[in-house]
């Protein structure tokens, strides 16, 4: 009900209007394993066209759900109607309204590669099952935050199924401060202290914004409390922040309310209330996919297997997008672009969006739509 209240704001949701260029519906796609299903919202063209571009698939971030994109669906619906193609938003397995199945990693904690691979496969293999069930040959994938990280992991494992990859404020890109295995692609020394070699005024402008954002992040980290040591311990033990909300009978709604009002300041009062209700409900649901976080990311949110050391294998067009006040490190994106270009992929670009933060998806999708339609940003 909370999800439907958000989607009901869309004039084409369950409208059953033959004159509308698109129709919006929600349903559960059953996977091969009994009890496993992925919650799906589809924006389907009522006049599909031969030669239309591949459908777009939106994938949310950690602990979120497809309802987080409700402000973006109108613009994406216009695009789908014009192109005669479809847009899908999917809740990752174990999150949103998808099946809350047990999440288990059997690999030893010290076996980082196996541990990360097992955690990633929980999500990306179920997404591949979903694609097969939906009969999609190829997709343009738009992922946000941890969903962007998992989208890249999916593209690395199933490259033939990805037409384009758009990574919005991706998690897990740069190496952390304790990372000891430098990538062969980034061993060249240059005069640039960050290892970046901008080749045009536009590149230098983006790099300047990225460095300014990184300085802002560094100052914030220096002001953090020593209580991070406790959080590090809990993180390594597999603790989930959503457990606090579930165990706090009266404090839970207040904590979620503070989060939703702080992270989505551009919403009006009614929209904020609906987002709060939606977020509270998916947070109170049984813990499942959220327990991936300590296996994929180390304390401090640095990836155990950083994307910057893996993206050299990607050959499809990739767009990296960050907000000007993002908490994700944009220099990781800059380095990833350089790695991909050095390995022959010239279909990559990066943008830093002015006045945007980590959750400013509306501004993000202006860029992603431009990428979908081949307009240079």
* All residues at 6 or more sequence positions from 111 whose CB lies less than 8 Å from its CB, including other chains: none
User: Catalytic one among 37, 276, 302, 358?
Assistant: 358
User: Catalytic one among 326, 329, 359, 368?
Assistant: 326
Contact 308, 335 (CB under 8 A): yes
**Residue 352 main-chain phi, psi, to 5 deg:** -110, 120
Contact 372, 56 (CB under 8 A): yes
User: Catalytic one among 42, 145, 151, 169?
Assistant: 145
Structure token digits, residue 305: 């297997």
In the chain, which ranges are E strands?
Answer: 22-30, 37-45, 56-59, 87-90, 139-144, 162-168, 297-298, 302-303, 318-323, 348-353
Contact 93, 38 (CB under 8 A): yes
Contact 52, 85 (CB under 8 A): yes
Helix (H, G, I), strand (E, B) or coil at 334: helix
227 DSSP 8-state letter: T
Q: What distance in Å separates the CA atoms of residue 280 and residue 259, rounded to the nearest whole number?
A: 10
Question: Is 374 in the active site?
Answer: no
Question: Is 312 in the active site?
Answer: no
Number of other residues whose CB lies within 10 A of the CB of residue 283: 22
Contact 126, 148 (CB under 8 A): no
Question: Is 203 in the active site?
Answer: no
Structure token digits, residue 327: 């908490």
Active site residues: 145, 326, 358
């Amino acid at each position: 009900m909370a999800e439907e209240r958000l989607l009901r704001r869309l004039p084409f949701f369950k409208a059953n209007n033959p004159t509308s260029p698109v129709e919006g519906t929600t349903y559960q796609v059953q996977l091969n394993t009994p009890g496993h299903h992925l919650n799906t919202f589809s924006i389907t063209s009522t006049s599909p066209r031969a030669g239309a571009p591949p459908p777009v698939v939106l994938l949310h971030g950690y602990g979120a759900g497809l309802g987080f994109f409700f402000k973006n669906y109108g613009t994406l619906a216009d695009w789908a109607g014009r192109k005669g193609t479809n847009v899908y938003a999917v809740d990752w397995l174990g999150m949103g309204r998808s099946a809350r199945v047990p999440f288990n990693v059997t690999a030893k904690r010290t076996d980082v590669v196996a541990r990360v691979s097992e955690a990633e496969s929980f999500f990306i293999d179920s997404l591949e099952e979903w694609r097969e069930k939906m009969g999609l040959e190829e997709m343009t994938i738009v992922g946000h935050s941890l969903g962007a990280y998992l989208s890249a992991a999916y593209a690395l494992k199933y490259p033939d199924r990805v037409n384009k990859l758009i990574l919005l404020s991706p998690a897990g890109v740069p190496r952390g401060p304790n990372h000891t295995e430098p990538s062969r692609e980034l061993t060249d020394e240059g005069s640039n202290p960050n290892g970046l070699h901008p080749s045009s005024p536009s590149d230098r402008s983006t790099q300047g914004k990225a460095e300014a954002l990184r300085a802002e992040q560094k100052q914030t980290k220096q002001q953090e409390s020593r209580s991070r040591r406790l959080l590090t311990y809990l993180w390594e033990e597999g603790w989930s922040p959503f457990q606090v909300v579930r165990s706090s009978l009266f404090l839970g709604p207040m904590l979620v309310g503070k989060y939703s009002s702080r992270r989505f300041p551009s919403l009006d009062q009614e929209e904020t209330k609906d987002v709060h209700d939606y977020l509270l409900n998916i947070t109170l649901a049984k813990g499942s996919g959220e327990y991936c976080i300590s296996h994929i990311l180390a304390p401090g949110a640095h990836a155990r297997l950083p994307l910057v050391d893996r993206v050299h294998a990607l050959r499809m067009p990739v767009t990296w997008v960050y907000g000007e006040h993002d908490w994700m490190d944009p220099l990781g994106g800059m380095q990833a672009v350089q790695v991909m270009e050095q390995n022959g992929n010239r279909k990559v670009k990066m943008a830093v969006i002015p006045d945007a933060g980590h959750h400013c998806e509306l501004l993000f999708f202006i860029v992603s739509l431009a990428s979908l339609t081949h307009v240079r940003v």
